């Protein structure tokens, strides 16, 4: 993986991710995650469901952006359809809003970092995985790279939030992330296999508890993270 893609995957990319916990904060509030073992289980579940869905959408978006560029056009209509596929796989309105907010921030960062016709053609409020896929194409990555960066972010974001919320030992948390590496790679492989197929066939694994947490979170009085 080259430096442009490392920059895109880096949590220091100024794209608003630090204010989102990927459902970890409501899981902590509900008592479902209290320690590193609980976090690892949470991450495994998230990776297999919303992680796979997001990685597949990103892979498809990356392939679409590259195809579009080769055709010499900017297919605004195509982006609307792919974004609707993301909407259809995100039943919770709170999660939709969080995904669009992160997409908007990422689009700002990507447009100023890697100018590309696909990024210019994307709607300003596109879903995060769709933007991430297009940004990967702009940074000269493949659909597999897009899937990998997305699946990686699906576990590292909540892990970072857990360190802040629970005061977990960051070394232990990184060990848990390293233990998940093969699973992350496997999800990236599976997602990348869908990159050029029909969008309606993209994975639609659901995580009802994460949907429920997202809705509870947005109504909570005390919260540190947007989602």
Partner 1 sequence: MGANHDHDPYDASPAHGRALRLGIGGPVGSGKTALTAALCRALREEVDLAVVTNDIYTTEDADFLRREAVLADDRITAVRTGACPHTAIRDDISANLDAVEALQERHPGLELIIVESGGDNLTALFSRGLADRQIFVLDVAGGDDVPRKGGLGVAAADLLVVNKTDLAPLVGSDLDLMARDAARVRDGRPVAFTSLRERPGAPEVTAWVRRILREAAAEHAHDHGHGHGHGHGHGHGHGHGHEQGHEHVPAAS
**Inter-residue contact 155 to 43 (CB < 8 Å):** yes
Give the long-range contacts of residues 110-116, CB within 8 A, separation 24 or more. 110/8, 110/15, 110/134, 110/135, 110/138, 110/139, 113/7, 113/139, 114/4, 114/138, 114/139, 116/65, 116/69
Q: Which stretch binds partner 1 (CB under 8 A): 31-39, 48-56, 120-128, 181-189?
A: 120-128
* CA–CA distance, 145 with 4 (Å, rounded to integer): 11
* CA–CA distance, 14 with 105 (Å, rounded to integer): 8
Q: Rule CB under 8 A: which of 134-193 touch partner 1?
A: 161, 164-165
> Least Å distance between CB 189 and partner 1?
30
Task: Work out whether 117 is an interface residue with partner 1 (CB under 8 A).
Answer: yes
Q: Rule CB under 8 A: which of 38-97 touch partner 1?
A: none
Task: Work out whether 221 is an interface residue with partner 1 (CB under 8 A).
Answer: yes
Q: How many residues bind partner 1 (CB under 8 A)?
A: 33
**Inter-residue contact 126 to 103 (CB < 8 Å):** yes
> Least Å distance between CB 24 and partner 1?
11
> Least Å distance between CB 84 and partner 1?
18
Residues that bind partner 1 (CB under 8 A): 12, 14-21, 101, 104-105, 108-109, 111-112, 115-117, 119-120, 122-124, 161, 164-165, 221-226
């Amino acid at each position: 993986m080259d430096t442009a893609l490392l920059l895109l995957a880096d949590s220091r990319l100024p794209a608003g991710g630090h204010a989102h916990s990927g459902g970890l904060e409501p899981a902590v509030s509900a008592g479902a995650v209290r320690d590193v073992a609980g976090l690892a289980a949470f991450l495994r579940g998230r990776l297999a469901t919303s992680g796979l869905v997001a990685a597949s959408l990103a892979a498809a978006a990356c392939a679409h952006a590259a195809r579009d560029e080769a055709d010499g056009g900017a297919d605004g209509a195509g982006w609307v359809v792919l974004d609707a596929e993301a909407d259809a796989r995100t039943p919770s309105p709170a999660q939709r809003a969080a995904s669009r907010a992160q997409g908007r921030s990422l689009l700002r960062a990507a447009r100023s970092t890697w100018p590309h016709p696909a990024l210019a053609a994307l709607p300003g409020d596109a879903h995060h995985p769709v933007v991430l896929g297009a940004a990967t194409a702009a940074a000269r990555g493949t659909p597999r790279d897009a899937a990998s960066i997305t699946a990686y972010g699906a576990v590292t974001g909540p892990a970072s939030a857990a360190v802040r919320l629970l005061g977990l030992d960051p070394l232990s948390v990184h060990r848990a992330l390293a233990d998940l590496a093969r699973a992350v790679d496997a999800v990236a492989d599976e997602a990348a296999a869908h990159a050029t197929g029909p969008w309606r066939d993209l994975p639609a694994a659901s995580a009802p508890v994460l949907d429920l947490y997202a809705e509870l979170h947005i109504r909570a009085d005390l919260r540190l993270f947007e989602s």
